A and B are shown apart, each in its own frame.
Chain A
Amino acid sequence: QSVLTQAPSASGTPGQRVTISCSGSTSNIGSNTVNWYQQLPGTAPKLLIYSNNQRPSGVPDRFSGSKSGTSASLAISGLQSEDEADYYCAAWDDSLNGVLFGGGTKLTVL
């Protein structure tokens, strides 16, 4: 049901920079800010980025977010093994009048 589209998987090697993308439409990403969540195996999601590019306290600056038009991206630099997790984008949708999540991207650190 997700109308925020993410690639199901991504991978990188330690130290590398990886980017995860999220594609939406004018009623969600095009009109509102984007948030990113990290879900480590067996745990609750954690807010990683809010308002497109803001990091909550405690989130390393290796994580950064950006938005352009109806798409958004999460970049992880200096990739570490502990970054292996599922990553979800989310945004408010004006047509739904509610929150949409992307389908999630499983990041593997090779």
Chain B
Amino acid sequence: QVQLQESGPGLVKPSETLSLTCTVSGGSISTYYWTWIRQPPGKGLEWIGYIYYIGRTNYNPSLRSRVTISIDTSKNQFSLRLISVTAADTAVYYCARVNIAAPTPDAFDMWGQGTMVTVSS
């Protein structure tokens, strides 16, 4: 059974960089699309972007200037980097796998448990 686990700092200072890693276990990271999604406290879900195992990426236009998603197939990990963070970036960050059977890369069938990141000085 494939499992995803997010890791990274729970507290980031304003204007600094948020960095998270998602480790995939129980299966290969190859062949699939992988994505990051976030959820501010008490609010809905926001798609951040995705990466294909060969490195092709696509980002939410509202975050494109600040976000980078990368992948390391040798470690079965993919990562999120968000620069110049503000309080508005405070959220639970989820990593997820895209369902290979869906016609577009927007059905997320495996999720990590999520990690809370607070932006505060």
Contacts and interface: CB of A to CB of B under 8 A. Distances in A.
Do A and B truly interact?
Answer: yes
Contacts of B44: 2, 88, 101-104
Nearest to A99: B47
B107 A47 contact: yes
Contacts of A43: 113
Interface of A: 1-2, 32-33, 35, 37, 43-47, 50-51, 54, 56, 88, 90-92, 96-104
Interface stretch (B7-15, B24-32, B95-103): B95-103
Interface in B91-118: 94, 99, 101-109, 111-114
Contacts of A92: 104-106
B interface SS class: loop
B61 A101 contact: no
A50 B45 contact: no
Contacts of A32: 103-104, 106
Contacts of A104: 44-45
Size class of the B contact interface (CB-based, 8 Å) = 20 to 34
Interface string B11-40: 000000000000000000000000100000
Nearest to A46: B111
14 contacts: A2-B44, A32-B103, A35-B108, A43-B113, A45-B45, A45-B108, A46-B111, A47-B99, A50-B101, A50-B107, A51-B107, A56-B99, A56-B109, A97-B58
A98 B58 contact: yes
B46 interface: yes
Contacts of B101: 50-51, 54
Contacts of A2: 44
A44 B110 CA distance: 10
Contact of A98 (B47, B99, B111): B47
A1 B62 CA distance: 10
Q: Which of A44, A97, A100, A103 has the most CB of B within 10 A?
A: A44
Contact of B106 (A54, A91, A102, A103): A91
